[in-house]
Structures are given as structure tokens and as C-alpha cells.
Amino acid sequence: MTLAATLILVGRVILGLFFIIAGIRNFKNFAGRKTPETNYGWKLPMPVTALGFASQLVGGLAVTFGVLPAWGALLLILFLIGATVLFHNPLMFKGEAKQPHIYFMLVNGALIGYCLMIFGLAP
């Protein structure tokens, strides 16, 4: 295995584990969660919330273990777009309240870029 292939594999595992851990933590605390409210003031139905958590877990597993990694990366991209639009839209905030949402939007954008790389490298 070349150095480049090794680094890609390690990066894919790190990215996948990020989402696996997030998905497990979200499901572990699922029973205690109240229905999340979006930035737009309406509550997200719990089945939709569960679907988002499942997307994190399934997408992370696919990327980590290389089983349909392109599809896993696509699933993670869809999750990240939805989470950013619904919960981290900085245009919905003013002043200091805007700052963490700018940060999360940038992080999610970087993760989307990483997922696009996984998508592009998948066989």
C-alpha cells in the first residue's frame, strides 16, 4: 500500500469515526431529548430527528469500513446540509449570537468538502 493510499485510509477512518461517535451519542440520549426547534421556530418531528441520527451512524460506518463509501459520504453530505440549514443558519442571528453559527457553518462546510473527497476517491 502506498503512502497516499494509507493516508487516505486513515483519513477516511477518522472522518467515519467522527460520525459514528456522534450518531451513537445522539441515539444514546434520544429518549431524553425534547423535540428540537429549528432556527425558523418550528419543531423538528422526532422521526426526522431519528433519521438524521441514523444518517450519521450509517454514513459513518460506510465511510469507515469502506462499504459503499461514496454512498455513505453522500448520506453524510445530505445530513450536514440539512443540519446547517435547519440549526446553524447564521443569517437568522444578530450580534454575538451569530458567532457560533458561523463557526458551525464553516465546520460543516469543511466536513462536506471532506465527504466530497471521499466521494471522488471511492471506487
DSSP string covering 17-40 = HHHHHHHHHHHHTTTTPPPPBPTT
Over 90: is that where the pLDDT of 118 sits? Answer: yes
Collapsing DSSP states into helix, strand and coil, what is residue 43?
A: strand
- Spatial distance between the Cα atoms of 80 and 3, rounded to a whole number of angstroms: 30
Among 65, 78, 71, 69, which Cα is nearest to 108's?
78
How many structural domains comprise the chain? 1
**Domain residue limits at 27:** 3-121
Over 90: is that where the pLDDT of 78 sits? Answer: yes
Q: Answer whether 78's CB lies under 8 Å from 43's CB.
A: no
63 pLDDT band (50/70/90 cuts)? very high
pTM, two decimals, is: 0.91
> Would you state the pLDDT for residue 28?
92
Q: What percentage of residues in the chain have a pLDDT greater than 90?
A: 78
